[in-house]
Amino acid sequence: MPFREEDTIAAISTPLGKGGLGVIRLSGPASLSICRKFFSPASKKSALSGKTHVICHGFIKDSGKTVDEVLVSPMLSPGSYTGEDVVEISAHGGPVILKKILDLCLKNGARAAGPGEFTYRAFLNGKLDLVKAEAVCDLIASATELAAENAFLQLSGSLSGKLAQFKKSLLDIASSLEVSLDYGDEDIKFVTNRELQKSLRDISSDIEGLLSTFEKSKYLKQGVRIAITGKPNSGKSSLLNALLERERSIVTDIPGTTRDTIEECVDLKGLPAVLIDTAGVRGGPLGRVERIGRERALKSITSSDIVLWLIDSSRKLDKNDAAIAATLKPLAGKKSIFLLFNKSDLPAVTGPKDIPRMFPFKTLSFKISALKREGLNELEDAVAGSLCLPGPVSNALFITNSRHFETLRKIKNCLLEAVNESERKSPEEITAFHVREALGYLGELTGETAAEDVLKNIFSRFCVGK
């Protein structure tokens, strides 16, 4: 990416495809003058006069021919997304029209923007820090409400605010250490070792709190994998269909209907989830296809985050249920296993009290009817609840980005080193060195001191036009 700030860049900022509207964005010192070359205002009032934050109605003209009727919004420096002069042209959302207008921008002196270049300029102009810029990317990529809310929380500065607090505290600590150093010979201490160690420990435990959210936050981005298992005919495919609210998997009363695994994405109470329907597990000799189906089922169960184990409550437990119990035993305690007594619309023959002799582990059990779609809401609540993710309005901050996680971990380690040195009564230079090192990583995190290649790498993952 060239990333020279003196030129003016242009890109189509809406997805290429047919839509009611499409937006072309220009940013840089020549945005307005370039746009004037092909924008013909509908009236005097809507001329691009140099006024900012107005909407100008007019036409895009190419060699006298009208290309489209548009609204043009100039947002002049510094009050724009990038901090530079920005012009947004809202045209009709057809790919041919949008490309034509972009071509006119390029012909008249703009350069095609690279991926994330608008946001990069916003970052260079101090409009947002690196953490917020990355949140822009996450917000766009969010697949569910919960993921979007967390991204927006970061974009509105929740993480940046925390990092700013850390920086302030660490700067205070570093400077008091350094002042103590200056007066070293006179043995004047501006902060006692105890106070120092407490402050450092407080910050590192705050960071630890943030780090502990990362493991779970992968569910926000990648989705939680939920495998449905149970003996043939227990209602696995019916449950998948019921949760998806469409007939995806074949359901029949013939045992062994599902032979392969079937994966589908679903929004589970705001959480992205991948539901996996599997072939029914049964004991006894298996045919070739059944054997492959069983292997796939086992793989899905092992790689899932949560297992839903279906029991047909209208029948007695049998050797097939026992075969599943044996399969799940090694996973007990390692992943959440939910016992689902399905077919609750029929008279119950089997219930939770029958399970312990076959599967003596603590599980959560639910009565459901996949056929009548009963008990599913409670089940979804419990599954989402078991992940201890923040509720939609909880405002809890989650670390979702592995760069943030890694850098915060390094900061924490530096602080613990500093505490160790201070406890060992090492010379203050050494403690100060570790605190300065932590501040260096903090600067990398917010982008204040990040190397250019790191920045380029981060912004190159953005889409063009953002």
Ligand X SMILES: Nc1nc2c(ncn2[C@@H]2O[C@H](COP(=O)(O)OP(=O)(O)OP(=O)(O)O)[C@@H](O)[C@H]2O)c(=O)[nH]1
Give the footprint of ligand X on this chain (CB under 6 A): 230, 232-238, 251-253, 255-258, 280, 342-343, 345-346, 369-371
- Cβ distance to Mg ion smaller for residue 31 or 234: 234
Binds 369: which of Mg ion, ligand X, none (CB < 5-8 Å by kind)? ligand X
Q: Are 49 and 125 in contact (CB under 8 A)?
A: no
Shortest separation between residue 241's beta carbon and ligand X, angstroms: 8
Instruction: Confirm if 404 and 445 have CB atoms less than 8 A apart.
Output: yes
Spatial distance between the Cα atoms of 260 and 250, rounded to a whole number of angstroms:
11
Residue nearest to ligand X (CB): 280
Q: Which is nearer to Mg ion, 143 or 323 (CB)?
A: 323
Work out the burial of residue 126: count CB atoms within 10 Å of its CB; fewer than 13 is exposed, 13-18 middle, 19 or more buried. Answer: exposed
The option from Mg ion, ligand X, none interacting with 235 (CB < 5 to 8 A, set by class) reads: ligand X
Angle at which helix 145-155 crosses helix 158-182, to 10 degrees, equals 40
Q: Does 204 bind Mg ion (CB under 5 A)?
A: no
Q: Which residue is at the shortest CB distance from Mg ion? A: 258
CA dihedral 369, 373, 378, 384 (to 10 degrees): 110
Interacting residues with Mg ion between 235 and 294 (CB under 5 A): 236-237, 257-258
Please identify, using beta-carbon distances, which residue of 204 and 369 lies nearer to ligand X. 369
CA 85 to chain CA centroid, nearest Å: 31
Q: Does 234 bind Mg ion (CB under 5 A)?
A: no
Distances (CA, A) of 116 to 73, 86, 242, 457: 21, 15, 40, 10
232 binds, among Mg ion, ligand X, none (CB under 5 to 8 A by kind): ligand X
Smallest distance from the beta carbon of 154 to ligand X, in angstroms?
Answer: 41
Collapse the DSSP code of 267 into the 3-class scheme (helix H, G, I; strand E, B; otherwise coil) and give the result.
strand
Least separation in angstroms between residue 296's CB and ligand X is 13
Cβ(103)–Cβ(60) under 8 Å? no
160 binds, among ligand X, Mg ion, none (CB under 5 to 8 A by kind): none
C-beta of 258 vs 304, nearer to Mg ion = 258
- Residue 27 binds which of Mg ion, ligand X, none (CB < 5-8 A, kind-dependent): none
User: From CA 162, how far away is CA 168, in angstroms rounded?
Assistant: 10
Binding footprint of Mg ion, residue count (CB under 5 A): 4
DSSP-assigned letter for residue 281: P
C-beta closer to Mg ion: residue 204 or 320: 320
The residue ranges that bind Mg ion (CB under 5 A) are 236-237, 257-258
